[in-house]
Structure 1
Amino acid sequence: MKSLPRTLEEYGTVVFDCDGVLLDSNRIKTEAFHAAAMPYGDDAAQQMVAYHKAYGGISRQEKFRWFFLELLGHSVLPEDQYYQALDRYARQVREGLEQCAVAPGVQDLLRKIPESCQRYVVSGGAEDEVRWVLGLKGLAGYFQGIYGNPTDKLELVRRLEQRQAMPGARLYVGDARYDHVVAEHFGMDFLFVSGLTEFQEWSAYCQERNILVVEWLSQLALESGLVADQVLGRKRGNP
């Protein structure tokens, strides 16, 4: 059984991704990307979804720039179409987020994190949207800061570090490749949550890099330290 190098009580800072970690919202974002791209045909919409899943954690702005410039082949970003697509996406996401559930184990875990620990949300979602939905779900009060796009995750964490707002040992909790990239860049411990991830290669990726994986945050045995109840490589209860 794998475990993190420290118990939860030993961390001075914990950074959480939002979609797929705190909220059951990955499917909502995927469906919204498909709907926003559908005016350009089903094949284009399916490729947009595939790109979104492969590059979880990257902002919607970057994904739609790729869609128009790389996939559709525009030499210059067609701003009217670009902003219309962003608007279609945002409207569908907001409707879906109102109904989405908090991910299993999140509230119990947040209650058990020591009050002395600095807790942040660093999301690829729009900052105002993430703050709104976490407030709606009763989670906002657990965090010292909630941040999102249009600023990239790497830059958001860099700003926290520059402000000396991440004291002590630091843990990043995410469900995407880019979450691990950011954590590794800043020398943070990393926990991958697999239960809702849309990163299809997560198992091989985590095995190759010796990353601790849990299916749900409810599986953390806090009384005996931060330990995974599931062996690396299992997902959604399947052997």
Structure 2
Amino acid sequence: MSRLDCYAVVVFDCDGVLLDSNDLKTALFREVLASHGFPPAEIEAFSAFQSTNFGLSRYRLFQAALDGRFGAIRPVPIETLLADFGRRCKNGYLTQPETPGLEAALVRARQGGRTLYVVSGSDEAELCDVLGARGLAGHFSAIYGSPATKADNLARIRAHRRASGGSDGERILFVGDAFADLQAARESEADFLFMARFSTVRPALEAEARAAGCGVIEDLRELA
């Protein structure tokens, strides 16, 4: 029996699920803040928050930093931080390894008749470009990212499915590795499957996922 047997639609987060890129993202946030004059103490506070709140969009994270959540209010245009981060992230994404079993898991899911999507906190246009360049975009019916929230993007999937002839009662499985993924699944009445291997909050989220009756896998090799 497959973990996917009950689902017509499977949604994947990107960082830590499709790509082993969580450490990259954390490092790039720190680099961008340092290059625009944020002091070390504020960078440390930001990084601690970001790493335990993976899945929040860069828009919300940088705005929190500029608004003084981690120290002083900073007069840096958010567009400057976003552009710098986007350049660094796009280049870095192309060199990050896929998570174990990714390609085989996507092929099996599609062969089983399931429709696949991506929902990520990463910038949507950037994510489409990167997954296209890596030859992965063709597995997915759509790729959704920020600035929309993950819950809003799961709602977009339901709308897309209705427009494509799917039923309102279709069960959706969201494979993620962050509290933001679990929360988005709850808000959208999707089921959540925690992929633990690369999660930055593994002990806490694994405990919460199991307590909520959600499935837990180490990586995508266990998805079948």
Question: Structure 1 length normalisation: TM-score?
Answer: 0.82
> What amino acid is the match of 2:220?
L
Instruction: Provide TM-score, normalisation by structure 2.
Output: 0.87
- Matches of 2:140 and 2:11, distance apart in 1: 9
Distance 2:51 2:125 in 1: 22
- Contact kept in structure 2, 1:11 and 1:170, CA below 8 Å: yes
Q: Is 1:90 matched up with 2:86?
A: yes
1:68 to 66, 70, 73: 66
Alignment partner, residue 25 of structure 1: 21
Which secondary structure does the structure 2 equivalent of 1:113 belong to? helix
Tell me the equivalent position of 1:217. Answer: 220
Q: Which residue of 2 aligns with 1:148?
A: 145
Matched residues in 2 for 1:24 and 1:114: separation?
22
Contact 2:110 2:139 in 1 (8 A): no
Q: Which residue of 1 aligns with 2:196?
A: 194
CA distance in 2, matches of 1:42, 1:197: 25
Secondary structure, in 3 states, of the residue corresponding to 2:120?
strand
Shift of 1:160: 2.3
Q: Number of matched residues?
A: 214
Match in the other structure for 1:184: 186
| Unmatched runs of 5 consecutive residues or more in structure 2 | none
Shift of 1:89: 1.7
Match of 1:125 in 2: 122
Contact kept, 8 Å, 2:128 with 2:143, in 1: the verdict is: yes
Q: CA–CA distance in 1 between the matches of 2:217 and 2:158?
A: 27
Residues of 1 paired with 2:205 and 2:85: CA distance? 26
| Cα deviation digits, residues 190-224 of structure 1 (max 9, x gap) | 1101111112522332233232211111123x3xx
The code of the aligned residue for 1:130 comes to L
